[in-house]
Homo-oligomer: A and B are copies of this chain.
């Protein structure tokens, strides 16, 4: 099976982190393809940036349609996810929803550890979209300015681990989610150092996307995830228009 892993942002360095962690966990026989958004921002902290990243991810998914059996949208917050699910007839998995699925299977209440305080509102709203706020113990975050988006986990390893411990001890978290593609692989590095299970969104997404492809549940031709009804459009990237027009 071939899975297209899309970084909805322009940061190649984050795509590399994603690729490293994804390859480690992929099953034999899974071919992973990686794509970086051709336009957008370095990383997403806000709803506006998510709007851009979501649209960019949709364009990438349309452009490469035909190359894959499943798609992963690999930014925490799942930009554009539900729209892209409608557009494609293969499983599309978001990094956050994948992390939440893992976390819910490992405990009743989870905390999210984030890389900036600004990002917290966007993450909260992502959890709301999954209707899981009552299982969210807390969102805790770094408050420092980031030196580089590619080195967050090295630069802030100690503080990130402290935040996770606080979530367990003060907020009652049963499970910790280390959030954001820039933290891909940190859960692996922290193995055995935290007193509760630790979830990584990037690797969870790979495994869950593989599972959905393997389970072969079929796709929607009716209901709210069927492809959008045919109607006039204009000015869209050719691949996107072709998908909406069913001409490819």
A contacts, CB < 8 Å to B: 10, 25, 27-28, 38-43, 45-52, 54-55, 58, 80, 82-87, 91, 93, 97-98, 100-102, 104-109, 116, 118, 120-122, 125, 128-135, 168-169, 172-175, 187, 191-192, 194-200, 203-204, 207-208, 211-212, 214-226, 228-229, 231-236, 240, 244
Residue of B108, B204, B224 near A118 (CB, 8 A) is B224
Compute how far the CA of A129 lies from the CA of B135 in the bound complex, rounded to whole angstroms.
Answer: 10
Residue in chain B with minimal CB distance to A224: B121
Which residues from chain B contact A28 at a C-beta distance below 8 Å? 28
Residue of B25, B84, B208 near A48 (CB, 8 A) is B84
Instruction: Evaluate contact between B224 and A106: CB separation under 8 angstroms.
Output: no
Name the residue in A10, A106, A128, A215 with the highest tally of chain B Cβ atoms < 10 Å from its Cβ. Answer: A215
Instruction: Evaluate contact between B39 and A51: CB separation under 8 angstroms.
Output: no
Which residues from chain B contact A133 at a C-beta distance below 8 Å? 134
Which residues from chain B contact A82 at a C-beta distance below 8 Å? 47, 108, 125
Given A101-B104, A105-B101, A107-B225: A47 touches B131 (CB 8 Å cut-off): no
Which residues from chain B contact A196 at a C-beta distance below 8 Å? 218, 220-223, 225
Instruction: Evaluate contact between A192 and B168: CB separation under 8 angstroms.
Output: no
Instruction: Evaluate contact between A86 and B48: CB separation under 8 angstroms.
Output: yes
Residue of B45, B207, B223 near A214 (CB, 8 A) is B207
Instruction: Evaluate contact between B197 and A218: CB separation under 8 angstroms.
Output: yes
Which residues from chain B contact A48 at a C-beta distance below 8 Å? 58, 83-84, 86-87, 228, 244
Residue in chain B with minimal CB distance to A97: B105
Compute how far the CA of A84 lies from the CA of B48 in the bound complex, rounded to whole angstroms.
Answer: 6
Compute how far the CA of A52 lies from the CA of B191 in the bound complex, rounded to whole angstroms.
Answer: 32
Nearest CB of B to A32, in Å = 15
Which residues from chain B contact A223 at a C-beta distance below 8 Å? 107, 121, 168, 172-174, 195-196
Instruction: Evaluate contact between B195 and A220: CB separation under 8 angstroms.
Output: yes
Nearest CB of B to A33, in Å = 20
Instruction: Evaluate contact between A91 and B106: CB separation under 8 angstroms.
Output: yes
Compute how far the CA of A174 lies from the CA of B220 in the bound complex, rounded to whole angstroms.
Answer: 8
Instruction: Evaluate contact between A47 and B174: CB separation under 8 angstroms.
Output: no
Which residues from chain B contact A116 at a C-beta distance below 8 Å? 229
Nearest CB of B to A108, in Å = 7
Compute how far the CA of A219 lies from the CA of B215 in the bound complex, rounded to whole angstroms.
Answer: 27
Instruction: Evaluate contact between A211 and B208: CB separation under 8 angstroms.
Output: yes
